[in-house]
Chains A and B, each alone.
Chain A
Amino acid sequence: MSNATTSSLPARFADWFAARGWSVRDHQLALLKHADAGENALLIAPTGAGKTLAGFLPSMIELSQQKSNAPGGPGLHTLYISPLKALAVDVARNLEIPAEEMNLRLRIETRTGDTSASKRQRQRRDPPQILLTTPEQLSLLLSSPDAAPLFATLRRVILDELHALVTSKRGDLLALGLAHLRTLAPAMTITGLSATVRDPDELRRWIVAHPGKAKLVLAPPGAPADLTMLDTRERLPWSGHGGGHAVREVYERIKSATITLIFVNTRAQAEAIFQQLWRINDDNLAIALHHGSLDASQRRRVEEAMAQGKLQAVVCTSTLDLGIDWGAVDLVINMGAPKGASRLAQRIGRANHRLDEPSRALLVPSNRFEVLECVAAMEAAREGAQDTPPARAGALDVLCQHILGMACASPFDADALYEEVRSADPYVDLERPTFDDCLAFVATGGYALKTYERFAKIKRNTDGLWRVSNGKVAQSYRMNVGTIVESDMLKVRLVHGRALGAGSGEGVAAYTGTLRRGGRVLGEIEEYFLETLAPGDTFLFGGEVLKLQGIVEDEALVSRARSDEPKVPSYAGGKFPLSTYLAARVRKILSTRAAWTHLPEQVQEWLALQSKHSRLPRSGQLLVETFPRGGRHYMVTYPFEGRLAHQTLGMLLTRRMERMGFKPLGFVANDYALAVWMLTDVTARAQQNPTCLEDLFAQDMLGDDLEEWLRESALMKRSFRQCAVISGLIERRFPGKQKSGKQVTISTDLVYDVLHRHQPDHILLRAAREDAATGLLDLARLGVMLARVHGHIVHKALERVSPLAVPILLEIGREPIYGEAQDDILAEAAAMLFEEAGA
């Protein structure tokens, strides 16, 4: 970082760096060099390394040297794409500073869902030189008839937070958009900006057309983090995710820091911790709450207050994993399990965005298993190990959406589009028949029963090109673009304000702090959570205990409750499943006694008790414990494969146990273990027949058992609904329209049932199946686990519950319990009527 390197910049830029007392960094120069050579590049840098400036520097230099006054304006030069619209707006603001200080006279604009229609229209006609936007807006621009002239001048694309974009359907959509951009602007190059990832080569391939690979630029890593785990003075809970035991200790840390970010894994945990902190907030520290369900304007106010240094702490969920840099944050606290090494590294990086100083972070496990997970994550962080998710195969519903978008822009040739799609990394392996199925779906639904030819959305003309049938199709595409399908959300509206006044105690009012204005809508909440509540039930939301009064149309009407304790504590365990990598490390800690010395004393004692009363699985083994309890027989096992895989395992195991006569009654799963209870004495059965457990866990459960279950699974229906919206089969629900009753709706559950019976291999069912397998069911992981433990199942027959089993048994009643026949619910409700009649 000598002056010699700075002098390789144009004078105007070198002077600007010098005036600020900065020197240009090596990775910034490296990106410049690649840009000059017309090469695509991937920059991997920790937070605080001047990543964004590095990305824009080549464009700014090029634009500053361009002859202006070209007829019709200079056109669009650089496109910046961020996963968050707030980040796009923030980066634009930060970019204005050097542009103005160097007098570059650049036109820099943002384009998001908030941009006015007139401005968006003007941007298509008269684009800025630098446009900052989101993946959805790129799709919209590409689907417009002026896409070709608009992007003809494009030289550079900058992709920010690329690691976060590529692992989702949004990433698939962006990859397809970029593939088309390469066709429209062949001279364009792409620069990806990313945090540290497990395999940079995956991103390098993702950025460019197959089979290329972008150049890799690695910024030096920052100072190692100052990472500790809270060794609590309190008793460590057996189970739960609240972390309530440590709130006082956390509060002390907040007091001793300037600004603290407190990360938790779910909205419900955020609510709980926030409430508990305020309850002991004797110093009246400005502690705020930030999560995805809160009203957007309220979130903005928290972010602004944070940026202005008005807050001492923010309790937040993954909504703040990415985004705006807050230089002043000097402590990050992660409450609960970190779930993944890379996720933890990201969160730690949110503290102290200065490379040369270590980030300070504290891990606060909320139960004993989470201690093991925290220790594993700290080891991984020290080694710099990463476990970002692997590259994904492109989703078919996204491809369907893209095909329609392409037809909206201009007539296309199917062969050319297929080649273009396959140049995008997620779709490299897409086979032509599958592409043709997607095309047929977009055109006429792709049904074996050919009755919709006359309603075709796109048609192939005599020139062989596909084009949209009419303007309404394009209009509908524009309304429905994007891959984010919110679960059905209901507005939470406060209807009885009286509890706010005198009598309810200042406690409740204080929780809302100064951050809430008089708004009556408190935010939004998932419909499926409310489905579990009855009117009168209380729950935590926005930092207060609310009572559900009823649901009217798309609104949940609530009042403030007088109690401090909500009746319904939470609606989900950890939102993210434990990463495979951390799971392996946790299993290793368990099986290696020497590693226990790093554990808190309470946890050491717990594990020692376990080896005394039961046993600890050795590396590669799966421990299965059975014991009687309360007139029932329990089977508890510890695969450490994450909640989703365990739930699937539980569903399949209980089906099989039903057939084998174990009479299973229910099961409960968490990230570490699975407990099944039943009427039959499983210990006796296992002792009579030594292969009985091996048979139970045999890999063939992923065959017919799985198929039979999937057919009726609510998870499959949820996946199908998402695919139906993304692919354009049904239109998105818009709150306003819904209310006026104008919008025609159809239940996708009914559509699923009918389609499954009549065309089980339909493209959308394939897409839904694929999603469920990788997402909600985690089938791949379950398959690997079953293969791994085959022949290595260790059965331990016990007289009573083991120390290791206590946490999962405590989850019963806290987590949803799964049972077999849904009709039992009806029988139970019907029984209530008979009781009534008898009385």
Chain B
Amino acid sequence: MIIGNGREITMAGQVCMADTSGAFYLAGSRTLIVSDLHLEKGSSFARRGMLIPPYDTVATLMHLKRVIEYFDPARVIALGDSFHDRDAASRLSDQSHATLVDLQDKRSWVWVSGNHDPAPPFGLAGEVCDEMHIGPLVLRHEPQVGSCFGEVAGHLHPVARVVTARGSLRRRCFVSDGTRCILPAFGAYAGGLNLRDDAFAALFPQTPPTAHVLGRDRIYSVAQDSCFAD
């Protein structure tokens, strides 16, 4: 996947970049936002008897590392559900822990808390908060139903299903109507919720939003109406 060939979208008057990598970048404040990393999801399943390959954390962190190297942000915001469960941070391998520490070096780091990880991650640096403001933008994990001008959130793991005569494709996407933006999940094992689901309808009651779908080397913008339910 190519990093950096994103699409500029305007959110609450701010120009933001919805990137092919699934990250959201605010060039003005050199802020990189990634949502729903779900680190250690594999080992979370393993605890319950499903021995899913334990490579998800490494895969997600390697991807994040490349994105950070590309944008060189002054600040990284992990927009909640960064860890799959409350104990996940303590299950990080030494190597993954070191990678994270390395990524945090020389830049500020914010862990926005999510429903999977309400408490600050054990043994890691970084500021912890429930929500934060950057200019007109308000960043929180779970989008709030109702008027929320400038809200940037995650939580829903949006995916779009696109169908044409040539076939059908299901890909992660950003969902935005210009006043609110839901970010795709960044984690290797994070599944997806179809943007035709009622959860999205409640968030975008007036204007149907646009799906900015992650393609291999560019973002494809598709009207929600052109997307299909699963």
Contact = CB atoms under 8 A, between A and B. Distances in A.
Interface string A432-463: 00000000010011010101100101000000
Contact of A746 (B41, B47, B223): B41
B213 A826 contact: yes
Interface stretch (A3-11, A119-127, A676-684, A749-757): A749-757
A37 interface: no
A745 interface: yes
A555 to B, nearest CB: 12
Interface string B196-230: 00000000000000100101110011110011111
A823 B5 CA distance: 15
A452 B46 contact: yes
Given A451-B43, A532-B168, A825-B162, A833 B191 contact: no
Contact of B169 (A473, A534, A535, A825): A825
Nearest to B56: A754
Contacts of A689: none
Contacts of A532: 163, 167-168
Interface in B166-197: 166-169, 171, 188-192
A758 interface: yes
B191 A822 contact: no
Nearest to A457: B49
Contact of B191 (A534, A747, A758, A821): A747
B53 A751 contact: yes
Contacts, number: 135
Nearest to A828: B164
Contact of A445 (B51, B213, B215, B220): B51
A595 interface: no
A679 B27 CA distance: 43
B230 A551 contact: yes
A476 B49 contact: yes
A679 B190 CA distance: 40
A827 B213 CA distance: 10
A21 B210 CA distance: 79
A594 interface: no
Contact of B189 (A447, A473, A750, A759): A750
A148 interface: no
A798 interface: no
Contact of B221 (A444, A755, A830): A830
Interface size class of B (residues with CB under 8 A): 35 or more
Interface string B24-66: 0000000000000000010101111111111110110000000
A822 B223 contact: no
A833 B163 contact: no
Contacts of B59: 754, 757-758
A829 B220 contact: yes
Interface in A824-839: 824-830, 832-833, 836
B188 A455 contact: no
Given A746-B45, A825-B162, A825-B166, A729 B52 contact: yes
B167 A832 contact: no
A819 interface: yes
Nearest to B162: A829
A825 B191 CA distance: 21
A593 to B, nearest CB: 41
Contacts of A823: 215-217, 220
A826 B93 contact: no
A516 interface: no
A534 B161 CA distance: 11
B46 A445 contact: yes
A443 B89 CA distance: 25
Contacts of B49: 455, 457, 472-473, 476
A830 B213 CA distance: 9
A718 interface: no
21 contacts: A441-B51, A449-B55, A449-B93, A452-B51, A531-B168, A534-B228, A746-B41, A747-B189, A750-B189, A750-B190, A753-B188, A754-B56, A755-B53, A758-B58, A819-B166, A825-B169, A828-B166, A830-B220, A832-B226, A833-B210, A836-B223
Interface of B: 41, 43, 45-56, 58-59, 93, 161-164, 166-169, 171, 188-192, 210, 213, 215-217, 220-223, 226-230
Interface of A: 441, 444-445, 447, 449, 451-452, 455, 457, 472-473, 476, 531-532, 534-535, 550-551, 729-731, 744-747, 750-751, 753-755, 757-759, 762, 816-817, 819, 821-830, 832-833, 836
